[in-house]
Amino acid sequence: MTPAIRPLIAGNWKMHGTSSSLPELKAVASGFTNAAGEGAEGVVCVPATLLGRAGEILAASPVAAGGQDCHPAPNGAHTGDIAAEMLADCGARYVIVGHSERRTDHHESDADVASKAEAAWRAGLIAIICVGETKAQREAGDTLSVLSGQIAGSVPAGATAGNTVIAYEPVWAIGTGLTPTPEDVAKAHAHLRAELKKKLGDEANAMRILYGGSVKPSNAAELLSLLNVDGALIGGASLVAADFLAIASAVKSK
């Protein structure tokens, strides 16, 4: 981890969860500080259908509620979309933008992601901006150049450590059970820090960079021990409170 940066353990439920899943959130809320320690922060990004109730459950806890996407506009004729202001109204403090599944399934460009990040800030939310290479890009040796392009295009000029978190998720590792080697993760995160410094100056030194992509209790301690890895963005393991808390506990020993 990066010295003096407060670690963040973030969960992304994706298109999972109904009312019957809410007890898992309650367990996360009640167990987080004991698992991760006083110095860590948590967030769980739930489907929009659960966000209002999640906001109520997590309101007095060290774990924040978050959304999984937002529209760039504050309102308008955008059937099926959700404005950042609506997320905030439900109790969200964070929102994920630019997840690879959105970039792929909905053809979101870097410019789209940047506009959503700015919308998040407008609503008082913290944007978790996702970046990461595909398997083909990795095999072609293009990982670092892809990350450079995504930082240049997806991170608006107004980004600060207070309004933005970066999440590195190699696309080929999401939900596959595969993870890069610790050396590869460290190299990618160091590169991201350097690119952020080029863009944002000294502000980049305090910005959190999360690792995501098949993070689980068995590999969390190794990943979270790496320099410039300031937390995790967790997919499937975040659906089970015991797994989420086990990953969070890896922070406590660092």
pLDDT in tens, 124-168: 999 999 999 999 999 999 999 999 999 999 999 999 999 999 999
Domains in the chain, CATH or no CATH each: 8-252 (3.20.20.70)
Helices (H), the chain: 22-36, 48-58, 84-89, 100-105, 110-122, 135-139, 143-154, 182-200, 217-224, 241-252
Catalytic residues: 99, 169
First CA to last CA across the chain, in angstroms? 8
Instruction: Give the length of the chain.
Output: 254
The answer to whether residue 220 scores a pLDDT higher than 70 is yes
Dist. CA 171–CA 221, nearest whole Å: 21
Q: Is the pLDDT of residue 194 over 80?
A: yes
Q: How far apart are the C-alpha atoms of 194 and 170, rounded to whole Å?
A: 18
User: pLDDT digits over 82-131, tens only?
Assistant: 999 999 999 999 999 999 999 999 999 999 999 999 999 999 999 999 99
Please determine, for residue 254, whether its predicted confidence score (pLDDT) is greater than 80.
Answer: no
227 close to 189: Cβ distance less than 8 angstroms: yes
* 198, burial (CB in 10 Å: exposed 0-12, middle 13-18, buried 19+): exposed
* Backbone phi and psi for residue 55, each to the nearest 5 degrees, phi listed first: -60, -40
In the predicted structure, residue 177 carries a pLDDT above the cut 90: no
- Give the number of other CB atoms < 10 A from CB of residue 211: 29
Q: Is the pLDDT of residue 169 over 90?
A: yes
Q: Which pLDDT score, from 0 to 100, does residue 253 have? A: 60
Q: Is 194 helix (H, G, I), strand (E, B) or coil?
A: helix
Confidence (pLDDT) at 196: 98
Q: For 43-73, how does the pLDDT look when each residue is reduced to its tens digit (9 = 90+)?
A: 999 999 999 999 999 999 999 999 999 999 9
> Which residues, 6 or more positions from 54, have their beta carbon under 8 angstroms from its beta carbon?
22, 25, 44, 46, 65, 91
